[in-house]
A and B are shown apart, each in its own frame.
Chain A
Amino acid sequence: MATARNVNRPLSPHLQIWKWGPHMLVSILHRATGSGMATVGTVLLVWWLAAAASGKEAYQTFTDVMGFYGLGYILGTGLSLCFFIHMANGIRHWFMDVGANFELKGNKTSSIAVLTFGILATIAYWAYLIWGK
C-alpha cells in the first residue's frame, strides 16, 4: 500500500511549483462542487422530501430553519452555483473523454467559459426566482 514513503528520497515537483491556470481551477472545482452537492445537497434534498412527506409541521420546521438568517438563500445560491459549474464542466469533460479539446488554447478558453457560465447562470436563475415570477 502507499502508506510508507522513504523520507530520504526527494518529492517530485508538485502543486506549489506550477503556475495556476483556469484549467487547474475548474479541475479542482469540479471535485469540490461535486463533493459539496453530494454531501450538503443530498442532506438538504432528503430533508426537504422527508419533511414534505411527513406533514405540515415537519415542513414548517424545514422552512423555519431555512429562513434562519437567510440560510436557505445561502445554501440555495451556493448549491446552484455548484450545479451550474459542475454541469458546464461535465459537458466540457465529455469532449475531453473522446480526445478533443486538449489543445492549450481551446482547453483554457473552455475552462474560462465554464466559470463564466456558472456565475452568469446562477445570477440569471436567482434573478428569475426573485424578480421574474
Chain B
Amino acid sequence: MTMANRTALGRVRGLGSAKEGAHHWINQRITSGSNLVLMLWLVISLARLPGYDFDSITRWLHSPWAAIPMVLLIVSVFYHFRLGLQVVIEDYQHDESRFVLLLLLNFFTVGAAAIAIFSVLKIAFTGTPA
C-alpha cells in the first residue's frame, strides 16, 4: 500500500504533537522550585550544625526532621540535574556518542540516588552511636 492511497487523516495520525513537548521544560521548572526550598534548608542546616564530625552528622541525620528533607532533596535535585545535563549533552554531542552519554547519565543519576537515599535511611533507621 503506497502513501498516496491513504486518507489525509491516516497520513498525519501519529506524527503530530503527542502533548509531551513541554514535559521536560515544565518538570525542570517544578523541581527548580522544590530545589530552592530544599537546598536553602540544607545550606542553613549545615551552617547551624554544632560540628561536622561523625557523631554530629549521624545524630543530625538520625532525626526525621533531617532525614526526610534530605531524601526529598536527593529526589528533587537529582531529577533536576538529570534534566539539565541531558540538555548539555544534546547541545554538544551530535553523533552516536549522544545516546551512550544519555544512557550513562541515567545510570549515574539513578545509581548515585540509590546510594545516597540508602545511606540516609540507614542512618535514620539504625540509630546513632551511644
Q: Interface residues of A: mostly helix, strand, loop or mixed? A: helix
Q: From the candidates A34, A49, A80, A91, name the one contacting B120 in the complex (CB within 8 A).
A: A49
Give the chain A neighbours of B112 by CB distance below 8 A: 42-43, 46
Give the chain B neighbours of A31 by CB distance below 8 A: 84, 88
How many chain B residues sit at the interface, stated as a range, is 20 to 34
Chain A 33-61 against B: per-residue CB contact (8 Å), 1 yes, 0 no? 01101100011011001101110100110
* B9 CB to nearest A CB, Å: 30
Given A50-B116, A90-B36: A56 and B29 within 8 A (CB)?
no
* B36 CB to nearest A CB, Å: 7
> Quick check: B115 and A35 within 8 Å, CB to CB?
no
> Quick check: B57 and A59 within 8 Å, CB to CB?
yes
- Tell me if B130 counts as interface (CB < 8 A to partner A): no
Give the chain B neighbours of A73 by CB distance below 8 A: none
Given A1-B94, A42-B112, A90-B36: A52 and B81 within 8 A (CB)?
no
* Chain B 54-77 residues near chain A, CB threshold 8 A: 54, 57-58, 61, 70
- Tell me if A95 counts as interface (CB < 8 A to partner B): no
- Tell me if B43 counts as interface (CB < 8 A to partner A): yes
- Tell me if B118 counts as interface (CB < 8 A to partner A): yes
Q: From the candidates B47, B54, B81, B84, name the one contacting A59 in the complex (CB within 8 A).
A: B54
- Tell me if B95 counts as interface (CB < 8 A to partner A): yes
Chain A 80-100 against B: per-residue CB contact (8 Å), 1 yes, 0 no? 100100010011011001000
- Tell me if B122 counts as interface (CB < 8 A to partner A): yes
Residues of A within 8 A of B (CB): 1-3, 31, 34-35, 37-38, 42-43, 45-46, 49-50, 52-54, 56, 59-60, 63, 80, 83, 87, 90-91, 93-94, 97, 125, 128-129, 133
